[in-house]
């Protein structure tokens, strides 16, 4: 896949997530939610090769916080997607310049 195609995909994703976040945070949106679950938890400490699962209490508390912040998470996802699209745009420009440079070189 070319860098331009990668940019187009990243830009499309960013636009969709930006629209999603805008809708999620609109005063007109009175219902917005989802189920948040956490699995595969672990915690380890420097100097100790063991890792431990989180307690059920910690998982439930953190999932509750995440659940209450879904609208903020939608905005953050959109911002991150836009940053990735910008990186892809720069890579696509670099690729295009390289190709144009090859075309301009005397044979």
Q: What is the pLDDT of residues 38-77, one digit of tens each?
A: 999 999 988 888 999 999 999 999 999 999 999 999 999 9
| Domain boundaries of the chain, sorted by first residue | 3-104
Residue 25 has φ and ψ, to the nearest 5°, of -100, 10
With b for 16 or more beta-carbon neighbours within 10 A and e for fewer, the 61-70 pattern comes to eeeeeeeeee
CA–CA gap between residue 41 and residue 62 (Å, rounded): 11
Is the pLDDT at 11 greater than 80, yes or no?
yes
What was the pLDDT predicted at 55? 94
Instruction: Decide: 4 and 96 in contact? Cβ < 8 Å.
Output: yes
Beta bridge partners of 51: 44
What was the pLDDT predicted at 47? 86
DSSP 38-66: --S--EEETTEEEEEPPPHHHHHHHHHHH
pTM: 0.78
């Amino acid at each position: 896949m070319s860098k331009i195609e990668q940019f187009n995909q990243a830009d499309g994703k960013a636009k969709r997530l930006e629209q999603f976040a805008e809708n999620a945070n609109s005063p007109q949106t009175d219902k917005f939610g989802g189920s948040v679950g956490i699995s595969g938890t672990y915690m380890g400490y420097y100097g100790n090769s063991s890792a431990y699962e989180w307690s059920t209490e910690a998982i439930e508390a953190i999932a509750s916080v995440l659940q209450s912040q879904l609208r903020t998470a939608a905005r953050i996802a959109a911002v991150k997607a836009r940053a990735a699209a910008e990186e892809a745009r720069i890579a696509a420009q670099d690729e295009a310049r390289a190709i144009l440079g090859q075309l301009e070189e005397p044979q």
